[in-house]
Structure 1
Amino acid sequence: MLEITPGLKSLLKDCNQKLKAKYQNQANLDKEQLRGLISQEIGRFVTVTKMGDTEIKEWLAGQDVVGVDGSINTLGKNYPHYITLLQALAKSTDRKKEGVIKHEAFSPLIDEDRDKILKKIYKDNLAREDEEAVVYPQEAAGKIKSSLLAALEILVAKESILKWNPKLIMMDGSLIRYQMQAEEEWRGLVELALKKNVFLVGVIEEIGTNDLSKNLADDLPAKMIEMYDRELLFGLLEMEEMIKLEKVDSFKEKTLTSAFLRTTRDPGVIGLDILKEQQEELDLVAALVQSLTPASGRGIPIWLDIVDDEVRITDKMMELLIDNYLDPRLKQKLFHAKSLDRIY
């Protein structure tokens, strides 16, 4: 059995004390004070009324809801000796319709992908304001993989509109990710969605923004200024309650309307993004998201969980693909990690 050393125990106890000191009292700004400050400076708290089955059917009027998600897995660890497989899926709530799926492979050892890395390095270095800052190949390759996955998800979303003309597309994560990582493809999807009157919604499970503290910096106690939205909002909302962000100054505010919503008994919240052009329907979209999310779940609509499960490239799947379709000698020569050969 693995023995936990006294040094590791002591280190974690020290981290625990530091985190407790930072978060325990939240600098004496209680729940009602924080809610009042957010209401005054950020946006409105509203109750989200769940839609019944009949109401959902009437709103959809025979159209579908589509979930979109992507997955990525890599064989090999160190640059450039790895190969990455990417996959994206758009799946309709009408189970009779076969999902739209697209794939991509990326490896710095493949000439075309190496050329993409070199072009990315050149482009990003030109854009750097600090003349001494340099974009390294590993960094460029990471950005390319993120862009490839975002583009794949956009492509399956676009194809789902052309094939099924759904009422609403739920995309996993913030919509700003697609706008920033695959700008050209994103513009095409937005144009098509607006033309076909399809709602695009980003459902954000892991919130990593700090928009609230940045916008409330002049009014928050010093200990709270650096807190992230996830921390400030933990336990602040009641179940089926939403904050509509109406006065937040952020990059995405120019093209998107956002909200935080507590959908389950868990005290954490999720984020919602919707196109600025569709913001009048935010309440209705939030009600649908709430209606499709189990009260005991992890906060996101169950349909996105289903899509996530189906699109995921598991380690086992990756292993089977590599063993069946990659020359064993190439696998050993290019991608095998020496750490796997340790003798214990």
Structure 2
Amino acid sequence: MKRKIRVGDNMFEITSGLKSLLKDCNQKLKEKYQNQTNLEQEELRDLIAQKIGEFVTLTEMSEVEIEEWLAGQEVVGVDGSINTLGKNYPHYITLLQALAKSTDRDKEGIIKHEAFSPLLDEDREKIRKKTYKDNLAQENKDAIVYPQEVAGKIKSSLLAALEILVAKESIVEWNPKLIMMDGSLIRYQMQAEEEWQELVELALKNDVFLVGIIEEIGTNDLSKNLADDLPDKMIEMYDRELLFGLLKMEEMIKLKEINSFKGETLSSAFLRTTRDPGVIGIDILKEQEQEIDLIAALVQSLTPAAGRGIPIWLDIVDGEVRITDKMMELLIDNYLEPGLKQKLLHAKSLDRIY
């Protein structure tokens, strides 16, 4: 049996099998997260305060206080974007772009670009070398690292390196007070280690704060460090799930020294910056952790109460740097010969007749 539903201007048919599967998923998820009530919110807050970190009420900074702290310097937002035309390896082209934008609107943004495709000889050689190296390093010799997987890692590293590059140039050209980077700082450390270390040294030398703003939290540090005290079905929960609705608006959990994959180089905190019950995360350098309360208050002050939790300036940067599907198509159509596009990048699935 099929049922039609409308999404926007389109009608879709939903089979009874798909409907049954989704209802089953809903029931299992409902049962899983109802178990969170085994530990009341106040109990969980007390447990976190004892073993994980300190709950801190944030006080928004006024415009005057922000200006006094900046002392004539500015805030820079850094974000990157990636888009790919073509679906299957190696028949695709990826464009990457990174932007550093100053809150001083008289300054043009610093933007850098990169292209990557396994069809290009130099990129194919990068993939070949890294695939060989990664397979040599495999502890389990029966597990094989494939070129497709390696190509994905290379793209991620290229984007991280581009974002680091524009951040470095913003320090050299503008000497900002603070740089907000999209996502956890550990991403840069892991994906572009050498470039990241150069950025850290440059920032510390010039007294520039580096802050990672994490909208989509994917860690499980809380449950990992509270495993002995949590109900069984809460042990596997991620931080995002445990903290949903737990913090009050304008409240932060400042993390103590806990077991975390971020190691000893970064300090982290969770914040609830909006009316939405979800939280965001922030990372700062260990060398700058004495200012985490002030940085968190600044992040809170720059975030709209009705927004999605991150400072408005990062939203602006995100909008300007994004490579949309339409932009990607226009670039390819204008600068790649039609014969090459058809031969190398065209997906046969687009030719389906319905």
Q: TM-score range by the shorter chain?
A: over 0.9
Residue number in structure 2 paired with 1:323 = 333
**Among 277, 286, 289, the residue aligned to 1:276:** 286
TM superposition shift of 1:251: 2.3
Tell me the matched-pair count: 344
1:67 matched to 2:77: yes
Q: 1:293 touches 1:301 (CA, 8 Å); kept in 2?
A: yes
SS at match of 2:12: coil
Residue number in structure 1 paired with 2:152 = 142
**Among 218, 221, 224, the residue aligned to 1:214:** 224
Q: 2:75 touches 2:179 (CA, 8 Å); kept in 1?
A: yes
1:286 matched to 2:296: yes
SS at match of 1:2: strand
| 1:125-204 equivalence runs, <5 A | 125-204=135-214
Q: 1:27 touches 1:223 (CA, 8 Å); kept in 2?
A: no
Partner deviation per Cα, 1:139-174 (whole Å, 9 max, x = no partner): 000000000000000000000000000000000000
TM superposition shift of 1:102: 0.2
Q: What is the rounded CA distance, in whole Å, between the counterparts of 1:221 and 1:27 in structure 2? A: 10
TM superposition shift of 1:248: 1.4
> Pairwise CA RMSD of aligned residues?
0.7
SS at match of 1:148: helix
Higher mean alpha-carbon deviation, 125-134 vs 67-76, is at: 125-134
Residue number in structure 2 paired with 1:229 = 239
SS at match of 1:208: coil
Partner deviation per Cα, 1:37-81 (whole Å, 9 max, x = no partner): 111110100011110000000000000100000000000000000
TM superposition shift of 1:27: 5.1
Q: 2:74 touches 2:178 (CA, 8 Å); kept in 1?
A: yes
Q: What is the rounded CA distance, in whole Å, between the counterparts of 2:21 and 2:127 in structure 1? A: 40
TM superposition shift of 1:123: 1.8
1:239 matched to 2:249: yes
SS at match of 1:248: coil
Q: Which amino acid aligns with 2:42?
A: E
Higher mean alpha-carbon deviation, 89-98 vs 8-17, is at: 8-17
SS at match of 2:130: helix
TM norm structure 1? 0.99
Residue number in structure 1 paired with 2:5 = none
Alignment gaps of 5+ in structure 1: none
Q: What is the rounded CA distance, in whole Å, between the counterparts of 1:328 and 1:121 in structure 2? A: 32
1:309 matched to 2:308: no
Residue number in structure 1 paired with 2:3 = none
**Among 78, 81, 92, the residue aligned to 1:82:** 92
Q: 1:151 touches 1:182 (CA, 8 Å); kept in 2?
A: yes
Q: 1:169 touches 1:200 (CA, 8 Å); kept in 2?
A: yes
Partner deviation per Cα, 1:197-237 (whole Å, 9 max, x = no partner): 00000000000000111111111110100000000000000
Q: Which amino acid aligns with 1:162?
A: V
% identical aligned pairs: 84
TM superposition shift of 1:34: 0.4
**Among 284, 295, 301, the residue aligned to 2:305:** 295
| 1:254-269 equivalence runs, <5 A | 254-269=264-279
Q: What is the rounded CA distance, in whole Å, between the counterparts of 1:144 and 1:161 in structure 2? A: 26
SS at match of 1:74: strand
Q: Which amino acid aligns with 1:293?
A: T
Q: Which amino acid aligns with 2:194?
A: E
Alignment gaps of 5+ in structure 2: 1-10
Residue number in structure 1 paired with 2:52 = 42
SS at match of 1:71: strand
Q: 2:213 touches 2:310 (CA, 8 Å); kept in 1?
A: yes
Q: 1:27 touches 1:224 (CA, 8 Å); kept in 2?
A: no
Q: Which amino acid aligns with 2:334?
A: N
Q: What is the rounded CA distance, in whole Å, between the counterparts of 2:152 and 2:285 in structure 1? A: 27
Q: What is the rounded CA distance, in whole Å, between the counterparts of 2:180 and 2:67 in structure 1? A: 17
Deviant stretches of 4+, over 6 Å? none
Q: What is the rounded CA distance, in whole Å, between the counterparts of 1:332 and 1:17 in structure 2? A: 46
Partner deviation per Cα, 1:77-121 (whole Å, 9 max, x = no partner): 000000000000000000110000000000001000001101111
Residue number in structure 1 paired with 2:7 = none
Q: Which amino acid aligns with 1:119?
A: K
SS at match of 2:306: coil
Q: Which amino acid aligns with 2:147?
A: P
TM superposition shift of 1:126: 2.2
Q: What is the rounded CA distance, in whole Å, between the counterparts of 2:166 and 2:264 in structure 1? A: 25
TM superposition shift of 1:247: 2.8
Q: What is the rounded CA distance, in whole Å, between the counterparts of 1:28 and 1:289 in structure 2? A: 33
TM superposition shift of 1:24: 1.7
Residue number in structure 2 paired with 1:112 = 122
Partner deviation per Cα, 1:3-43 (whole Å, 9 max, x = no partner): 21111111111111000000023151010000011111101
SS at match of 1:194: helix
